């Protein structure tokens, strides 16, 4: 393996956790702001630009969207609660969201709000805030100065949403459900449970997804290596270890082709892997790390085999500036583990160069449910137009929203009825795979003091020592990790 400096490795992690192959991505749970001194995390990072036309599909029916000649548009329901009463002027709803969303996610921040405006006569004013660790402090500063808007984007995996709930920045949706003819059962219970506190639910889900639970595979390379095409579901963790060396080419210290890439550059990407071995990030009360458990050790051993023993895993100098999807598209990587946001980048980068497919990341015999990452649009407690604002947030979580997101962005929202809502798109195997993962999900992990970013930084910095070959994997190494994480979790909220 080529030597890699710490700076190079961090660059690798930041690039690999969500960079697009052929179009720039929003650094966004699922997905993602690069928010810590450690390798950047990723929730969702769809390709920038307005993807109103589906890219030319790759030569496989296992990974591509359906190509109906003229898709039937889903119905556009009019939010009943938002129409101005007779004699009242329309209002403008101020929405705080992550900078760049209107370009990277136009279906979410341009198209659906535009439809809502036409249906209700009200207006939406986007007020972007740079993403990352500074996002929530800026939202709180707006709240403290009584200048906060009516709706705010939140994400849950690093507890930003929880933080705003704790400090009473957000308004519960419960009083407005009847007015909107909405029910919490429209979304998976793993999602609703994640954003419910003391019996009250805050925000409608923009997204609820299962993070890095997918592996993209080059079917041409599989055939050349004499490996049978994998099924979408039911592959074993041992299969990946067996396939990766066969798919790799060239000397171990500098491969011409790498067999496998494991998403290790963010907490959100690591959590599904640990769950597949039966592990969890903390105890049920969110007070103690589980890093010294047998499940964490098995997860670390599995990845260490790929990175340091078989050396079939690309690091920073091999990935370069273009990102991991570009390495896959260039046929320098046979299998790529990542979040669903990679789908659009692979479609654009690969086109019809070779056949490819997406399979579910293997679930071990003790596998837990996939960890859920939830993003919301939440009404603020300070809004003067709570009913109207709640109508907008529901419109950005309803069936029409689900259809637009699937059609334009290539991924699903958190609705139970997604496959019905997306109509002719429902035959797309990758969308079906996403829905299956959501059906297997469990609520997001807990951490009582809400210091998710510090936890992530401590975890990534310690594990870097292993991936870079500076430390050996043993019980002492994992015990040190637990001690480090427990110190973070013991800090005051």
SS (H, E, C) 310-377: CCCCCCHHHHCCCCHHHHHHCCCECEEEECCCHHHHHHHHHCCCCCEEEEECCCCCCCCCEECEEEEE
> Coil, helix or strand for 120?
helix
| 348-372 core/surface letters (b: 16 or more CB in 10 A; e: else) | bbbeeebbbbbbbbbbbeebbbbbb
Helix then strand count (H, E) for the chain reads: 21, 12
* Short-list 202, 180, 201, 176, CA closest to 120: 180
Q: What is the pLDDT of residue 293?
A: 98
CA 197 to chain centre: 22
Compute, in degrees rounded to 10, the torsion defined by CA atoms 417, 418, 423, 428.
Answer: -140
pTM summary value = 0.83
Q: Measured on CA atoms in the order 371, 345, 392, 80, is the torsion positive or negative?
A: negative
Cα 30 to Cα 42: distance, rounded to the nearest angstrom: 6
Q: What is the pLDDT of residue 132?
A: 85
CB of 295 closer than 8 Å to CB of 369: no
Structure tokens at 223: 């055939």
Q: What is the DSSP letter of 174?
A: G
Quote helix, strand, coil % in the chain, to nearest 5: 40, 15, 45
- The domains found in the chain, sorted by start residue, are 6-29+61-65+211-370 (3.40.190.10), 92-210+374-442 (3.40.190.10)
Strand blocks (E) in 156-192: none
Taking 70 as the pLDDT cut, the residues of the chain under it are 1-87
């Amino acid at each position: 393996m080529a030597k890699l400096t710490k700076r190079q490795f961090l660059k690798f992690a930041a690039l690999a956790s969500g960079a697009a192959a052929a179009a720039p991505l929003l650094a966004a749970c699922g997905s993602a702001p690069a928010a810590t001194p450690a390798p950047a995390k990723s929730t969702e990072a769809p390709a920038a630009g307005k993807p109103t036309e589906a890219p030319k599909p790759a030569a496989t029916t296992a990974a591509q969207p359906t190509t109906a000649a003229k898709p039937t548009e889903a119905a556009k329901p009019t939010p009943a609660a938002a129409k101005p009463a007779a004699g009242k002027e329309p209002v403008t709803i101020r929405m705080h969201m992550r900078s760049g969303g209107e370009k990277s996610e136009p279906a979410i921040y341009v198209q659906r709000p535009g439809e809502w405006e036409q249906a209700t006569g009200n207006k939406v004013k986007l007020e972007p805030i740079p993403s990352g660790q500074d996002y929530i402090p800026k939202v709180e500063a707006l709240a403290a100065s009584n200048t906060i808007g009516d709706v705010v984007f939140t994400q849950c995996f690093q507890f930003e949403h929880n933080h705003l709930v704790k400090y009473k920045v957000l308004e519960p949706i419960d009083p407005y459900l009847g007015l909107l003819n909405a029910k919490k059962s429209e979304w998976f219970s793993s999602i609703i449970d994640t954003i419910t506190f003391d019996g009250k639910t805050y925000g409608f889900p923009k997204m609820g997804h299962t993070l890095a639970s997918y592996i993209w595979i080059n079917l041409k390379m599989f055939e050349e290596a004499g490996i049978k095409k994998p099924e979408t579901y039911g592959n074993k963790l041992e299969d990946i270890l067996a396939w990766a060396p066969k798919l790799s080419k060239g000397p171990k210290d500098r491969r011409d082709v790498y067999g496998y890439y494991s998403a290790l550059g963010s907490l959100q990407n690591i959590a599904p892997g640990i769950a597949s071995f039966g592990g969890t990030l903390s105890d049920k009360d969110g007070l103690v790390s589980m890093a010294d458990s047998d499940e964490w050790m098995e997860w670390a051993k599995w990845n260490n085999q790929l990175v340091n023993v078989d050396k079939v895993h690309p690091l920073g100098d091999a990935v370069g500036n273009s990102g991991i999807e570009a390495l896959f598209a260039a046929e320098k990587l046979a299998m790529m583990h990542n979040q669903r946001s990679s789908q659009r980048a692979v479609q654009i980068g690969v086109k019809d160069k070779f056949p490819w497919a997406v399979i579910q990341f293997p679930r071990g015999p003790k596998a837990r449910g996939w960890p859920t990452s939830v993003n919301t649009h939440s009404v603020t407690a300070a809004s003067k137009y709570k009913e109207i604002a709640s109508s907008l947030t529901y419109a950005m979580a309803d069936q029409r929203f689900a259809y637009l997101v699937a059609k334009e962005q290539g991924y699903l929202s958190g609705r139970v009825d997604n496959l019905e809502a997306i109509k002719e798109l429902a035959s797309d195997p990758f969308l079906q795979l996403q829905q299956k993962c959501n059906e297997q999900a469990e609520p997001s992990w807990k951490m009582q003091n809400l210091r998710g970013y510090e936890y992530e930084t401590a975890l990534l910095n310690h594990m870097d020592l292993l991936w870079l070959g500076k430390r050996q994997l043993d019980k002492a190494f994992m015990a040190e990790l637990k001690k480090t994480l427990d110190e973070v979790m013991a800090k005051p909220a």
